[in-house]
Structure 1
Amino acid sequence: MDDDEARERIASAAEDLYYRKGFSAVGMDEVRSSAGVSLRRLYALFPSKDAVITEVLARRHREWEQGLSQRVDAAGPSTRDRLLAVFDYLDGWFRDPAFRGCAFINAFGELGGTHAHVAEIVQDHKASFQRCMSQLVRAAGGTESLAAQLAILAEGAQSTAAIGDDPAAARHARDAAEVLIAHTAAKSGSA
């Protein structure tokens, strides 16, 4: 197995373990065992647990952006439908039996107070989502305030779905988003 394959196996195993069990609960030996690599190889590719966590969060960020982008693009040209597609994406994610909440919120809750680097990665991810919402809202002729409100709905739905084990949180957030979008459109003649 070459280094690229070993890195992929390690990152994939760590992603699964951290998401199911938590970042703090999983040690490097468990990652090594699950990935099927030697401890020496693991540390040669990832010199610390923080390096593994960084890689896992980078993977999650790419997966999130790709999945969200695909769902929004599939919604077609209607700017309203593209905004609501964000909540449809959440609905599909929340209904996945493997759903355990947002990996970034989980990481921040476990490590954000003691690992400044993890807090920064999480903040960057959340800022990226806010920029995405801002772009979608601007395309619909809406305001930055609407973008912030829709992002808060999406973030709240993620926490509610995970903590309450209730995938319907996405539908409730979507319903609220429809009201906000319609209100903004009525006020400004857009969105």
Structure 2
Amino acid sequence: MIDDASARERVVRAADELFYTRGVQAVGMDAVRTAAGVSLKRIYSLFASKDELIVAVLRHRTEIWDAGLASASERATTARERILAIFDFLDAWFREPDFRGCAFINTHGELGASSSAVADAVREQKASFQAYVARLVDELPAPPELAPQLAILAEGAQTTAAIAGTPDAARQARAAAETLLDAAAR
């Protein structure tokens, strides 16, 4: 028998893949059970509700996002390079064969109006990303209003790439970010 931490990780990873591929509402707990190889009784001992599982999946996605940003900016030596690395990270992600858009935006679209816990988890991740961009903008220096503009470019690129089915939005958003950065440097 696997311990609770291992079972929890299996359930979160299985639910993440299912939710991202099929949508949160389309996936029942029986499908999660089958994919994770963990009984429903055990799943409900780890997560009191499907909403609690969804929030755990979103927290898992936050860790993946944060690690991806950190990895993309490893070689960057300036704040400008770290900002542009966000768009390089998006470009690589959009080219992955299983790219289905932003899990946070997708989940909020499905459940944001009916689940305050899900809406709060999504808002928390988006606020964290905006704070990251704001810290980078502060290092430039540049006017603080540049930070939300850059964050909106990244968010819009995710939605556009998912709907258009092409990674072009990352390159286009990067070019727009460069224009904004150049204008702020004057």
User: Matched residues in 1 for 2:80 and 2:96: separation?
Assistant: 25
Q: Percent identity, aligned pairs only?
A: 54
Question: 2:141 corresponds to which residue?
Answer: 141
String of CA shifts for 1:30-87, please: whole Å, max 9, x gaps.
1001101111111111121011101100000111111102212322x12221110110
Alignment-derived partner of residue 32 in structure 2: 31
The Cα of 1:184 is off from its aligned counterpart by 0.8
1:16-42: per-residue Cα shift (whole Å, max 9, x none)?
A: 000000000001111001101111111
Q: Normalising by structure 2, what TM-score?
A: 0.97
Partner Cα distance (2:79, 2:31) in 1 = 46
Aligned length: 185
Relative to structure 2, which stretch is displaced further, 43-52 or 126-135?
A: 43-52
Aligned counterpart, 1:167: 167
Matches within 5 A, 1:31-180: 31-75=32-76, 77-180=77-180
Structure 1 portions without partners, runs of 5+: 187-191
For structure 2, the residue ranges without an aligned partner over 5 or more in a row are none
Letter in 2 for 1:96: E
Shift of 1:130: 0.5
Cα separation, 1, equivalents of 2:106 and 2:8: 23
**In structure 1, distance between residues paired with 2:82 and 2:22:** 34
Q: Which runs of at least 4 in structure 1 moved beyond 6 Å after TM superposition?
A: none
Instruction: Output the TM-score relative to the length of structure 1.
Output: 0.94
CA distance in 2, matches of 1:74, 1:24: 40
Q: Which residue of 1 aligns with 2:20?
A: 19
Separation in 2, partners of 1:89, 1:12 = 22
- 1:61 maps to a residue whose letter is T
The match for 1:189 is: none
Aligned to 1:97, the other structure's residue is in SS state coil
* Root-mean-square deviation over aligned CA pairs: 0.9
Distance 2:80 2:56 in 1: 34
Residues 137-164 of structure 1: CA deviation (Å, up to 9, x unaligned)? 1111012111111111001000000111
